[in-house]
């Protein structure tokens, strides 16, 4: 298997496991990733996901160009015909939080995977880039849409039009990642963040993520109205009552997602 997945205490750790190829995805790993994207929502044991790469060189270096062949069907068939799509992020639509622990190069589709997560932390030696213009292509898994929303138009355009890489400190400065640390601390910190999220009320966590994601398409006034509506939905949930009881009784809450 090119994707190793473990689940413990509500936290799934998915490791791209092709270290000899800098965890670049070939057709097999792409298919495994798409299967995992679907599993995230279907598996009730998963509350939070950590994505990382094997080894200490790369999170994911994008598509393995040595194994990337033309698709067997036309783009029109993929877009409008029956069957599945080969889009890298197909099926990755979840309210469960995703954390990227970026342990090295995150290039091309590797950076696009990271951009699709909610929290990104990086090792000090990590490098980031969307280099597709250098090989006569464009970012095809959401890069042109997600990167400007994360780092702003000017920085995104500079990265994509030049194809140049930026280092971890530059990524931190522009908001591409939220924390930078030595590699030895990376997975410990990722698990620490994931555990803190998994300990919270799952309905609240998922509602927050959905509201934040929807906010990009809404005016502030409409977003505030939607936020108030969702607050009302959660007001009488069993978990909200449990949270208050646990606080009063000075004990950890026992959330059930109800």
Whether 225 is catalytic: no
219 Cβ partners below 8 Å, 6+ apart? none
Helix/strand/coil for 240: helix
Nearest to 52 by CA among 204, 203, 193, 206: 193
> Residue 133 half-sphere exposure, CB side, CA atoms within 13 Å?
13
Question: Can you name the residues that pair with 49 across neighbouring β-strands?
Answer: 12, 98
11 Cβ partners below 8 Å, 6+ apart? 46, 47, 48, 49, 50, 191, 194, 195, 198
Helix/strand/coil for 103: coil
Q: Of these residues, 28, 32, 42, 112, which one is catalytic? A: 112
Planar angle of CA 128, 134, 139, nearest 5 degrees: 60
Give the span between the Cα atoms of 176 and 107, in whole angstroms. Answer: 13
Q: Are 91 and 55 in contact, with CB atoms under 8 Å apart?
A: no
Which stretches of the chain are assigned E, i.e. beta strand? Answer: 3-8, 11-16, 48-53, 58-60, 98-102, 105-107, 119-123, 127-129, 166-167, 179-181
Instruction: Report the chain's C-alpha Rg in angstroms.
Output: 19
Whether 249 is catalytic: no
Q: Of these residues, 28, 42, 132, 221, which one is catalytic? A: 132
Residue numbers annotated as active site: 112, 132
């Amino acid at each position: 298997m090119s994707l190793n997945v473990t689940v413990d205490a509500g936290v799934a750790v998915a490791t791209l496991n092709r270290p000899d190829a800098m965890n670049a995805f070939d057709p097999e790993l792409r298919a495994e990733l798409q299967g995992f994207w679907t599993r995230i929502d279907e598996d009730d044991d998963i509350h939070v996901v950590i994505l990382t790469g094997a080894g200490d060189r790369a999170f994911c270096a994008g598509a393995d160009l040595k194994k990337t062949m033309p698709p067997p069907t036309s783009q029109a068939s993929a877009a409008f015909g029956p069957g599945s799509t080969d889009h890298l992020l197909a099926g990755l639509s979840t309210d469960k939080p995703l954390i990227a622990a970026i342990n090295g190069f995150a290039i091309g589709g590797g950076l696009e995977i990271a951009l699709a997560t909610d929290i990104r932390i990086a090792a000090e030696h990590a490098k980031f880039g969307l280099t597709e213009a250098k090989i006569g292509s464009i970012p095809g898994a959401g890069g042109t849409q997600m990167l400007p929303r994360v780092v702003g138009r000017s920085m995104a355009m500079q990265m994509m039009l030049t194809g140049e890489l930026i280092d971890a400190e530059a990524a931190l400065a522009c908001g591409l990642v939220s924390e930078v640390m030595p590699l030895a601390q990376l997975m410990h910190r990722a698990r620490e963040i994931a555990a803190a999220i998994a300990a919270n009320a799952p309905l609240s966590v998922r509602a927050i993520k959905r509201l934040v994601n929807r906010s990009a398409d809404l005016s502030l006034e409409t977003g505030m109205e939607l936020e108030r509506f969702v607050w009302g939905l959660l007001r009488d949930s069993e978990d909200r009552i449990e949270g208050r009881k646990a606080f009063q009784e000075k004990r950890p809450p026992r959330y059930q997602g109800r």
